[in-house]
Amino acid sequence: MTYERELELALELVRKAGALALQLFEQPTPAEEKADTSPVTEADRECEKLIRGALRDSFPEDGILGEEGTLIHSRSGRRWLIDPIDGTRDFVRRNPFWSVQLALEVGDRVEMGIIYCPCTNEMLFAASEQGCYWNNARVAASDIARVDKSILMVSGFKAAWDSWPAGAVQLLTKKCWTVRCYGGCYDVIMLARGKADIWLSGSGMEWDYAPVQVIARECGARFLIRDGTDRIDAKHCVVCAPKIEREIRDILGISN
Over residues 170-228, the pLDDT tens digits come to: 999 999 999 999 989 999 999 999 999 999 999 999 999 999 999 999 999 999 999 99
- Residue 35: partners with Cβ closer than 8 Å, 6 or more residues away: none
pLDDT band at 27 (very low <50, low <70, confident <90, very high): confident
| pLDDT per position as a tens digit, 101-137 | 999 999 999 999 999 999 999 999 999 999 999 999 9
Q: What percent of the chain has pLDDT over 90?
A: 91
Q: What is the pTM of this model?
A: 0.96
- Residue 156: partners with Cβ closer than 8 Å, 6 or more residues away: 201, 202, 203
For residue 69, pLDDT beyond 90: yes
For residue 29, pLDDT beyond 80: no
- Residue 166: partners with Cβ closer than 8 Å, 6 or more residues away: none
Identify the pLDDT of residue 120: 97
Identify the pLDDT of residue 187: 98
For residue 151, pLDDT beyond 90: yes
3-state secondary structure of 97: coil
Task: Identify the burial level of 137 via C-beta atoms within 10 angstroms of its C-beta, where 0-12 means exposed, 13-18 middle and 19 or more buried.
Answer: exposed
For residue 1, pLDDT beyond 80: no
Identify the pLDDT of residue 156: 85
Name which residue leads in pLDDT, 73 or 183: 73
